[in-house]
Amino acid sequence: MTAVTPDTGHGTGHDTDLGQLAAAFDAAVAADERVEPRDWMPEEYRATLVRQMAQHAHSEIIGMQPEANWITRAPSLRRKAILMAKVQDEAGHGLYLYSAAETLGTSRDELLDKLHAGKQKYSSIFNYPTLTWADVGAIGWLVDGAAITNQVPICRCSYGPYARAMVRICKEESFHQRQGFELLMALSQGTEAQHAMAQDAVDRWWWPSLMMFGPPDDASSHSAQSMAWRIKRHSNDELRQRFVDIAVPQAESLGLTLPDPDLKWNEERGHHDFGAIDWAEFWDVLKGNGPCNAERIGRRRAAHEEGAWVREAAAAYADKQAAKDNGQTEEARV
C-alpha cells in the first residue's frame, strides 16, 4: 500500500467499530475537514467520488473533440494558438482528474475502459456538433462558463485530492471563458455574416448549456447525499440560476440575444426567470441519441486502440532497460 493507491478502505488494521468510524467521518465532513486518500471513508462516498471524478475527467477528454475540430481551420494565427492551448489544457485537466481519481484505488486504465465501453458517462454537452467557427466561441463563453459555475464550489469539496485538482483547473480555466467571450465579441462586431454566425451559435448552445447543471433538483437522484457529504455544495437549480443571472448581462454586452422569449428579470425574486428546459432532449442525448454520441466515443476508442502499440513499445523498452540496469548491478557486485 502506498500513499496514493490505498487499499479499498475495508481493513483499518484494527477492530474498530464501523459505526464509530462512520460517525467520526460524518463529524469531520460536517466540520469542513478534508478527507484524504488513506482515511477511512464509507464505500458509498468512495463510489460516488470515483463516479463523479471519472465523469468529470472523461468530460475533459471527450470535450477536446468538438473544439479540436476547428484547430486546423482557425481563421487567424492568434486564434489558432489560443485554441491549441485551450484544447491542450483540457487534456491536462483530464489528467489532473484521473490522477485525483487514482488516489481512491481505481486506475486510469480501468476508468478509460469503462468510458470506452459506455459504462461511464461524460457531460452530454459534448455530444453536440461544432458546425461553425462561432461554436468555438459559444463553447468558451457558455459551456466553459457553465462548467466554471459548477466547478468553483468543488474547490471546497470534502475530498482533498479532488478539491486540489479543481483549484488548479479553475485557475487555468479562467482564460477559457474569456477567450470565448472575446471571440464572440469580435464576430458580433464584425461583418454581417460573422454576426449571424455568432448569433446562430449562441442559439444552438444556450439550452444545452443550461442542461449542463443536471436535472432539476426534484429529479436528481444523487444530489441530497452528495450535498451532505460536501462533494456538492449547491443544488443543480441554484447553480443554473446563478449561471443565467451572470450570462444575461454578458449577452447584452456581446450584442447577442439569448433564444428564450420567457427570459426576464424578476424583481421580486431578484433573479431572471427563464423558460422551460426540454428535459426530454436531455434524457435522449444522455441515453446516447445525441447528434455525436457515437462519433465521440468512436474517436476516443480509436485513438486508444491505435495507440496501443506505442504504449506497448515504451513499456517493452522500459523493461529492457531495467533488465540491463539490473544486469549491470549484478556484474558490479561480482
Interacting positions 285-324 with other proteins (CB under 8 A): 299-300, 302-303, 306-322
Cell of 327: 544486469
Q: Considering only 94-102, 151-159, 237-245, 277-285, which stretch makes contact with other proteins by CB under 8 A?
A: 94-102
Q: Is 173 in the site for other proteins (CB under 8 A)?
A: no
Residues forming a β-bridge with 265 = 272
If the CB atoms of residues 140 and 214 are measured against other proteins, the closer one turns out to be 140
> What part of residues 139-168 is at the interface with other proteins (CB under 8 A)?
165, 168
Measured between alpha carbons, how far is 328 from 321 in angstroms, rounded to an integer? 11
Instruction: Enumerate residues 36-75 that contact other proteins by CB under 8 A.
Output: 36, 38-40, 61, 64-65, 68, 71-75
Q: How far apart are CA 68 and CA 173, in angstroms?
A: 17
Q: Rule CB under 8 A: is residue 85 a binding residue for other proteins?
A: yes
Q: How many residues bind other proteins (CB under 8 A)?
A: 77
Nearest to 54 by CA among 10, 7, 119: 119
- Structure-block grid coordinates of residue 207: 439550452
Q: Between 191 and 221, whose beta carbon lies closer to other proteins?
A: 191
Least CB distance from residue 276 to other proteins, whole Å? 35
Residues 189-218 that bind other proteins (CB under 8 A): 190-191, 193-194
Q: Hey, which residues between 236 and 275 contact other proteins (CB under 8 A)?
A: none
Q: How many CB atoms lie within 10 A of CB 269?
A: 9
The region of 9-17, 43-51, 218-226, 274-282 touching other proteins under the rule CB under 8 A is 9-17
- Measured at the CA of 147, the angle between CA 142 and CA 153, to 5 degrees, comes to 135
Q: Which is nearer to other proteins, 189 or 253 (CB)?
A: 189
Residue 110 CA to residue 90 CA, distance in Å, equals: 20
Q: How far is residue 158's CA from residue 195's CA, in Å, rounded to a whole number?
A: 44
